[in-house]
Amino acid sequence: MQITVIYFNNRNTFYLYIIGLKQFIKGKPIRFGFKLWTLASSDGYLFHAELYSSSTTKLPQTGLGQGPDVVLGLMNKVHAHEGNHVVMDNLFTSIPLLNELSKKGIDGTGTIRENRLENAPLPPKKSMKKTS
């Protein structure tokens, strides 16, 4: 079975043109610009990009939240199939998203924020710290 590894991340591209889609991006050196949701291969080749435009972004609403909507929407655009593997950062990763990907036979890997754990049975932080 062939496994395709797809790296998924959000990319911020900055321009200073006056346009209605320009976003405020907190914590970045250039705070105004365009946001792109991108789907790229592990080699860095771009498969699909979607311009973020707040409520008018053309991605399907799944009811799982913005992160899962972006991942599932872009995966549908490139006709992802069973055996694909998605790697994403903590903006997108959630347990409902991983469950949805699993139902489609797509593997998912990503860091997850503490507030998205949904009472997952994990050991306490103290016991996971590296001991010498």
CA 14 – CA 72 distance, rounded (Å): 25
Distance CA 37, CA 29 (A): 19
- Asked if residue 132 belongs to a domain, the reply is no
Report pLDDT for 32: 67
Range of the domain at 87: 2-127
Helix 95-103 × helix 66-77 angle, to 10°: 30
Domain tally for the chain? 1
Residue 117 forms part of a structural domain: yes
pLDDT truncated to tens, each residue of the chain (132 aa)? 233 444 455 554 433 333 455 666 677 776 666 677 788 877 778 887 777 766 656 677 777 877 788 888 888 877 777 888 888 888 888 888 889 889 989 888 888 887 777 777 777 777 777 765
Assigned domain for 30 exists: yes
Q: Is the pTM of this model over 0.75?
A: no
CB 11 within 8 A of CB 40: no
Does residue 120 lie in a domain region? yes
